[in-house]
DNA sequence: ATAGAACCTTACGTAAACGTAAAGTTCTAG
DNA sequence: CTAGAACTTTACGTTTACGTAAGGTTCTAT
């Protein structure tokens, strides 16, 4: 189905926009590629799927501000899934596949819940900022009306609204 | 206009949900109350306005994940405004007030821009998660149809959708 | 006036998330 | 088959954002 191109750590790092150190650190925490058995000292290899996964982790970190510890918790179930990942490709057992899918769903649901919650909070925040901005502009209008624009020498009349 | 209740650092900390250390640290960074001259060794005093301001800082930190350094940059202009804050209460000069308001507006606009940008990014994120979730559920249906639910002993038939 | 709570300053400590250096090994192109 | 680029492990270093302890001071209630 996919051209299982083997990527090296440097390529993955560049594409995702992190350093190789970060990738190794994440592996150390059990967030990445601990699955693929690797002869000691040999280079790490990654797939496109790994790249996507890493990008997801980075987004959970940057957008939701989760600590790596929290991400580990969140992804714990997915770890099992990732471990089974290899099976997916080679294991045509429908029963197994069903179990994998059923294990993945609640994980995505939890992530979605977190994102939605953050969206709500940000909605409130932007609402308050808009109100504040409106108040300030209103106040500016009142004050500007009370004061003939005498002093300001070079403020072109291109003010907003 | 307002009951200028003087709050102490402990009260402020409790109400905002941070420690006193945090408040002192923020002051050290120039984010808070460096303005009010204080006799050396005397207790710090705060107003309701300060509480609101601190809450804003915390939200910028938690919701947008800004570093304190970045917040300092963002609030730099507001610092000047805060310094002038004292003037606001006692200075009835309309010209001064106008300048204060005009200084505050672009700051709020910048914050709003940051929040909106984050909202967009989260919108994309949740969209992708929804798609992913949909795909997984679809796949589950297909697989469930291919497999008569023989084994599962106690999974009540209350599955979603 | 005095006890105790709350605060002050100073300064060293800490956890998370990597950065960076060293010394050796594996890959890959020519 | 060999040079050098990219990788490996190991381990100590660094930054941010506070935590925490010590020793003294200021407030406030009685």
Q: What confidence score (pLDDT) does residue A95 get?
A: 85
Among residues of chain A, what percentage have pLDDT more than 90?
A: 59
- Strand C closer than 7 A to residue B11 Cβ: yes
Output the distance from A6 CA to D7 C1' rounded to whole Å: 14
Q: Which residues of chain B, if any, have pLDDT below 50?
A: 1-2, 161
Distance CA B8, CA A77 (A): 46
Please tell me the predicted confidence (pLDDT) of residue B65: 97
**64-93 of chain A touching strand C, CB 7 A cut-off:** 67-69
- DSSP bridge pairs for A46: A7
pLDDT at residue B40, as a whole number: 83
Global pTM value: 0.85
Q: DSSP for A92-132?
A: --HHHHHHHHHHHHHHHHHHHHHHHHHHHHHHHHHHHHHHH
What is the per-residue pLDDT for B156? Answer: 60
| Tokens standing for residue B19 | 């420690």
CB-CB under 8 Å, B108 with A147:
no
Q: Do A114 and B129 touch, CB atoms closer than 8 A?
A: no
* pLDDT on residue A61: 98
Contact B115 A122 (CB under 8 A): yes
How many CA atoms are closer than 13 Å to the CA of B127, on its beta-carbon side?
6
**Which nucleotides in chain D have some atom under 7 angstroms from a protein Cβ?**
6-10, 16-20, 25-28
Quote the percentage of chain A above a pLDDT of 70: 78
- Cα separations in angstroms, B127 against A62, B121, B122: 17, 10, 8
Neighboring chain A residues of B119 at a CB cutoff of 8 Å: 119, 122-123, 126
**A32: CB within 7 A of chain D nucleic strand:** no
Tens digit of pLDDT for each residue in A72-116? 998 775 655 555 566 666 667 888 888 888 988 999 999 999 999
Question: At A29, phi and psi to the nearest 5?
Answer: -80, -5
pLDDT of residue B5: 77
Confidence of residue A2 (pLDDT cuts 50, 70, 90): very low
What is the per-residue pLDDT for B127?
98
Tens-place pLDDT, residues A5-17: 799 999 999 999 9
Q: Is the CB of B10 under 7 A from strand C?
A: yes
Q: Report the residue from A62, A102, A129 with minimal CB separation from B108.
A: A129
What local confidence, expressed as pLDDT, does residue A82 receive?
55
- Among protein residues, the one whose C-alpha sits closest to the C1' atom of D7 is A43
Q: How far is CA A155 from CA A138, A152, A158, B93, B109, in A?
A: 20, 6, 8, 21, 19
Long-range CB contacts for residues A63-67, cutoff 8 Å, separation at least 24: A63/A115, A63/A118, A63/B118, A63/B121, A63/B122, A63/B125, A64/A114, A64/A115, A64/A118, A65/B62, A65/B65, A66/A114
For residue B100, the model assigns a pLDDT of 83
- Concatenating the DSSP letter of every residue in A11-31 gives HHHHHHT--HHHHHHHHHTTS
How many CB atoms sit inside 10 A of residue B89's CB? 12
Q: How far is the CA of A21 from the C1' of C21 (A)?
A: 13
Cβ–Cβ below 8 Å for A98 and B126: no
Residues A147 and B94 sit within 8 Å (Cβ to Cβ): yes
The pLDDT score that the predictor gives to residue A15 is 97
């Amino acid at each position: 189905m996919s051209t299982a191109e083997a990527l090296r750590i440097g390529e993955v790092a560049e594409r995702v926009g992190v350093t190789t150190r970060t990738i190794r650190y994440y592996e150390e925490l059990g967030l990445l590629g601990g699955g693929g058995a690797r002869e000691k000292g040999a280079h790490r290899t990654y797939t496109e799927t790994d790249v996507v996964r890493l990008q997801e982790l980075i987004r959970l970190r940057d957008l939701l501000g989760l600590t790596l510890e929290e991400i580990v918790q969140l992804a714990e179930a997915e770890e099992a899934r990732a471990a089974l990942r290899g099976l997916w490709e080679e294991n045509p057992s429908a029963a197994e596949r069903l179990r994998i899918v059923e294990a993945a769903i609640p994980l995505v649901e939890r992530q979605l819940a977190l994102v939605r919650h953050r969206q709500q909070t940000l909605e409130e925040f932007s609402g308050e900022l808009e109100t504040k901005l409106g108040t300030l502009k209103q106040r500016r209008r009142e004050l500007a009306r009370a004061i003939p624009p005498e002093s300001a020498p070079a403020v072109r009349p291109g003010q907003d609204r």
